[in-house]
Amino acid sequence: MISYVPYSDDLEVEQPDEQSKIADILRYLGIAHERAIAARRHAPGETHAKGHGVLKGTFTVEPELPEELAQSLFAAPGTYPAVLRFATEAGTLMDDREPAARGLAMKLIGVDGEKMAADGRLTQDFLCNNCPILPLAEVTTYREIARLRAEYGHDPAQLAAEIAKRDDADVQTLFERLPNIDLLAHSYYSQSAFRYGDYVCKYALMPNTEAQRALAARPVTDDDRPDVLSEWLAEFLADNDAGFDFCIQLLTDPETMPIEDASVEWDVGKSAWRRVGTLSLPAQNPFTPARRAFGDEVLGFDPWAGRPDLRPLGSINRVRKPAYRASSRRRHEYNDRAGFEPISIGDVPD
């Protein structure tokens, strides 16, 4: 019989010199962000600069879940309007023909109850990338990589040479070897651990229609255009619906499924992915000028925005708390454009 590890505050372990490493990481991120802003005279997010589309959908909590899955937001059946943004992970505007990590951020609207930030929001954010692990791992590794990016980010060849010298170069370059396929055909993962009510999980969004999964057979090639991913997304959604299963993997063994190291994939043999919700995306145009501008300039996602019983865990998530706020503040100030948190799905333009 599988036993699920109960959530407790002492599952998280502060890393050696964590506060000073977090301060260094924030300083390095600021250097890279300000360089990207100066190059464009426009401020994207510190990461996920290139948006590929903003989508509206409906999220339905799976009915009749067993006790270990019927937690937090998933404790009672319900439906929520959802807004999503697809983006490429880099902090610069990459050509879509280059393989890279792709992100999918989802915001549920109309979520009542206590929130981690007492800012009156009615939203719950979930942020994922299309790789089960995060090579940055924890604050010690991340500090080293953030320093290299701050120092050599203006010179991609030199940055690659510096990363190649590392013992973990294979892991640090993993995103460059991800399949370069249609955005609707990837699975997207939280990579890091989260509280899940009385338990602990990682979460993921997995494509749930045959037509989406079939898109994986068509990789991006050098003959495609630099913005092919937005074009394919708009083409498919012009006359097809799409959808994702929202799945979680519960923590069953803290030794081999660490919370404090996001570079370790949790073994599905020890704990399978299980569906707790479904996201339906009706046919729509995800890349109108109004949606693109809303996604790139106005909307913001933050793993620390939402319910305390879904709070992020581990040092890689502890550094995200100040990092998202600093990035958001910097881009909204520079672009002279206020951020805005949707209250209803009508706030998201068509």
Positions that interact with ligand HEM (CB under 6 A):
45-48, 85, 87, 103, 105, 127-129, 134, 136, 190-192, 262, 300-301, 316, 319-320, 323-324, 327-328, 331
If the CB atoms of residues 70 and 300 are measured against ligand HEM, the closer one turns out to be 300
Q: How far is the CB of 205 from ligand HEM (least distance, A)?
A: 11
Q: How far is the CB of 326 from ligand HEM (least distance, A)?
A: 7
Are residues 30 and 326 in contact, defined by beta-carbon separation less than 8 angstroms? yes
Long-range contacts of 333-336 (CB under 8 A, 24+ apart): 333/43, 334/37, 334/42, 334/43, 335/42, 335/43, 335/297
Q: How far is the CB of 167 from ligand HEM (least distance, A)?
A: 21
Q: How far is the CB of 317 from ligand HEM (least distance, A)?
A: 6
| Residues ≥6 apart with Cβ < 8 Å to 298 | 337, 338, 339, 340
If the CB atoms of residues 136 and 242 are measured against ligand HEM, the closer one turns out to be 136
CA–CA distance, 199 with 4 (Å, rounded to integer) = 7
If the CB atoms of residues 78 and 328 are measured against ligand HEM, the closer one turns out to be 328
Q: How far is the CB of 49 from ligand HEM (least distance, A)?
A: 9
If the CB atoms of residues 54 and 65 are measured against ligand HEM, the closer one turns out to be 54
Q: How far is the CB of 299 from ligand HEM (least distance, A)?
A: 6
Other beta carbons less than 10 A from residue 221's beta carbon: 9
If the CB atoms of residues 65 and 105 are measured against ligand HEM, the closer one turns out to be 105
Instruction: Tell me the residue ranges of DSSP E strands in the chain.
Output: 50-61, 79-88, 102-109, 123-129, 188-189, 194-196, 199-207, 242-250, 274-281
Q: How far is the CB of 232 from ligand HEM (least distance, A)?
A: 18
What is the Cα 257 distance to its own chain's centre?
20
If the CB atoms of residues 70 and 315 are measured against ligand HEM, the closer one turns out to be 315
| Residues ≥6 apart with Cβ < 8 Å to 221 | 97
If the CB atoms of residues 28 and 74 are measured against ligand HEM, the closer one turns out to be 28
Count CA within 13 A, CB hemisphere, residue 68.
18
